[in-house]
Chains A and B, each alone.
Chain A
Amino acid sequence: MVSEDESRDEEARDGVRPDTDTHGRRGQPPTVPLGRRGQPPTDPADSETRTDDPRGRRLRRAFVVLTLIGLALWPPTQHVLHRAHALGAWKHFGLGVYCRPKLDLRLELVADGRTIDLRRLRPETHAAFAELRARTRELGMLTSADEAACRLMRDEDAQVVEVRRTQDELGADGRVHPRHDVWRVEDEVCSQRAYAVSR
């Protein structure tokens, strides 16, 4: 027979009264088929519910706590990244689907002060900018434009290339607001990336 004090101590420790069954009824011994925390299950032959490995239990608790904290903190973090760097709201498990419509991303290319028509690019360079556009829509202005810019620099024999990105966004006020970003690449950067670009 468990005294009131012992019962209270156990309740304070486990959060469950020891004489409470699984349906919350008092006055009966617990009939827990899966075993109490930290003890072997009712059926010792059942290896599926064996919980007597303390290291494994600690690791599982760590998994539970860390992933739940991550899942709780990631959506607001993603929102901050969206505000700061136009990180896409729909993807990355930030749960921001249906928060903003997907609007256009416009690219403007300038090589040594000359505006370059995207339609006149070589196929490989055009593909590189198409890839850049797709990645920028998801990863925002954090996406490096170096590779595409270096290809353009080589094609145009330029010293400086600017990739101007404009991402339209629908605001809470029902207006479309543009967000601008200029990615400037100079010759030095591309000479370091020569191998990557020439492949």
Chain B
Amino acid sequence: MREGPRYRRRVTTPSSETPPWIVRGWRRALDTDAEPDAREKLASLDRFVRWHLGAHAVASLVFALREEVARPLALGARGIGLAVLVLAAVAPRRADSIAIPTVALVALASALASWPTTSNHAFYGAFVALALAVLRSEPALATAYLRATVLLVAFGAGLQKALHGTWWRGSFLAWELAHDRFVRTLGRLLSESELARLRSLRGAREGFVLSFGPLLGIAWAVVIGELVLPLMALVRRTRSFAAIGLFGLGLGFELVADEVLFGGLFAAVTSLFFGANVVRAITRAVLLIYVARAAIFVATGGLAW
């Protein structure tokens, strides 16, 4: 009897053992094994975070000095924090075991000390520094964790915009444009008559909605993008697109709202979706932008930055 070719049977797992696609997506996003260059990425991010927190401390100190009633104790504490951060930033690698936890402690203390006026990016900076300190011994887990925080930050921002509802009819943007904020960038997307209508609303208590047009489309795109892109990043096939989209959103906010420190931190942590060379390039580019902005600040005598 002639025996036919033996085909290898396809190995399948019972359906009860196969997790649904969304769970598989999460596992990949937090997969601690598929990260051969995690330590390099974290080394670049760690260096960046030290300089970033130093830059933030400088900005806080300058703003505190400009306050009418500057409190000597608070100023002294900020000065000490800044000195520690600069020391940590220039410390050699062999001092990492002391420098990394110290940076996390200073960042946390500084964020808590300025509560309830602590900015979101100060909290996020402290959060990233803490993660780098706690998860230092597991670089792959740390990288996956920080990527997950980027997704939660973007999704949380989108969720807040959707829940507050002030972006669906553009009322937030209409109010800001009416009061001459964001006009230099977003104002170009409005007709002269529409901008004049919004400006005429100053002092009014109603009518702050955008007419149908490109700006309203952008408002919708921002909210939907912040909600959808993090979900797309959970799926391997769409992850690169989502990561680039998140970069785009960050860049857009940077151009419109000029949130340099938040934009820089967000870009640096988002770069963890890519290879170590990209992380290195982006963190260095962001630090160069900080230096350029500081130079503008000094050159203009504190009038611009």
Known interface pairs A79-B163, A98-B257; A22-B137 also in contact (CB < 8 Å): no
Q: Which of B27, B161, B174 has the most CB of A within 10 A?
A: B161
In angstroms, Cα B166 to Cα A79, docked, is 13
Interface positions of B from 155 to 192, Cβ below 8 Å from A:
155-157, 159-161, 163-169, 171-172, 174-176, 179
Which residues of chain B come closer than 8 Å to A12, judged between CB atoms? 13, 17
Report which of B39, B117, B174 forms a contact with A34, defined as CB distance below 8 A.
B39
Contact A4 B11 (CB under 8 A): yes
Query: Distance in Å from the Cβ of B86 to the closest Cβ of chain A?
Result: 24
Q: Are A174 and B206 closer than 8 Å at their CB atoms?
A: yes
Take A60-B135, A67-B127, A172-B165 as given contacts and tell me if A99 and B145 are in contact as well, using a CB distance cutoff of 8 Å.
no
Contacts of B141 in A (CB 8 A): 60, 64
Residues of A with C-beta under 8 A to B118: 91-93
Query: A16 with B31: in contact, given A48-B136, A99-B164, A101-B176 (CB under 8 Å)?
Result: yes
Complex CA gap A60/B141 in Å reads: 9
Q: How far is the CB of A143 from chain B (nearest CB, A)?
A: 9
Which of A68-76, A146-154, A183-191 is near enough to bind chain B? A68-76
Which B residues, 1 to 25, have Cβ-Cβ distances below 8 Å to chain A? 11, 13, 17
B72 at the interface (CB under 8 A from A): no
- Find out whether the CB atom of B171 lies under 8 angstroms from the CB atom of A172: yes
Decide yes or no whether B132 CB sits under 8 A from chain A: no
Residues of A within 8 A of B157 (CB): 75, 95-97
- Candidates A138, A172, A176; contact of B164 at CB < 8 Å: A172
Using an 8 Å CB-CB cutoff, how does the interface string of B232-274 with A read, 1 for contact, 0 for none? 0000000000000000000000000100000000000000000
Judging by beta carbons under 8 Å apart, are A93 and B169 in contact? no
Among B135, B156, B172, the residue within 8 A (CB) of A101 is: B172
Once A68-B145, A79-B164, A94-B160 are accepted as A-B contacts, the answer to whether A170 and B138 lie under 8 Å apart by CB is no
Contact: A34 with B139, CB < 8 Å? yes
Mark each residue of chain B from 105 to 128: 1 if its CB lies under 8 Å from any CB of chain A, else 0.
000000000001111100110010
The answer, yes or no, to whether B49 is at the interface (CB within 8 Å) is no
Interface contact tally, CB-CB below 8 A: 167
Nearest A residue (CB) for B26: A15
Q: Is the CB of B138 within 8 A of A93?
A: no
Q: A170-B171, A174-B209 are in contact. Are A72 and B136 (CB under 8 A)?
A: no
> How many residues of chain A are within 8 Å of chain B by beta carbon?
59
Instruction: Say whether A126 faces chain B, with CB atoms less than 8 Å apart.
Output: no
Chain A residue, CB-CB nearest to B157: A95
| Complex-state Cα separation, A36 to B17, whole angstroms | 22
A101 to B181, CA, bound (A): 11
A72 and B27 form a contact (CB under 8 A): no
Give the complex CA separation of A94 and B123 in angstroms.
10
Residues of A within 8 A of B169 (CB): 172-174
Q: Which residues of B contact A74 (CB under 8 A)?
A: 156
CB-based contact B117/A91 at 8 Å: yes
The answer to whether A34 touches B38, judged by C-beta atoms less than 8 angstroms apart, is: yes
Q: Is the CB of B145 within 8 A of A176?
A: no
**Residue B207 lies at the interface, judged by CB distance under 8 Å to chain A:** yes
Q: Determine, out of B51-59, B74-82, B146-154, B297-305, the stretch whose residues face the partner at the interface.
A: B146-154
**Which of B36, B138, B160, B209 is close to A60, meaning CB atoms less than 8 Å apart?**
B138
- Which one of B38, B169, B205 has the greatest number of beta carbons of chain A within 10 Å? B205
- Given contact pairs A95-B160, A97-B157, A174-B169, A22 touches B34 in the complex (Cβ within 8 A): yes
Contact B148 A68 (CB under 8 A): yes
- Contacts of A164 on B, CB cut-off 8 Å? none
- With A12-B17, A89-B160 as contacts: A176 and B205 at CB distance below 8 Å: yes
In the assembled complex, A8 has its CB within 8 A of some CB on chain B: yes
Q: Which residue of A lies closest to B208 (CB)?
A: A174
Q: Which residues of A contact B292 (CB under 8 A)?
A: none
Q: A174-B208, A176-B208 are in contact. List 17 more A-B contacts (CB 8 A).
A: A8-B13, A14-B33, A34-B139, A34-B140, A48-B136, A49-B39, A57-B138, A63-B134, A64-B145, A72-B152, A74-B156, A91-B116, A95-B156, A99-B172, A172-B164, A175-B207, A176-B205
Give 24 A-B contacts (CB < 8 Å), ordered by A residue.
A8-B11, A11-B13, A22-B33, A34-B39, A34-B138, A36-B33, A37-B32, A49-B139, A51-B137, A51-B138, A60-B134, A60-B138, A63-B135, A71-B153, A89-B160, A90-B120, A91-B117, A93-B120, A95-B156, A100-B164, A139-B116, A171-B171, A174-B209, A175-B207
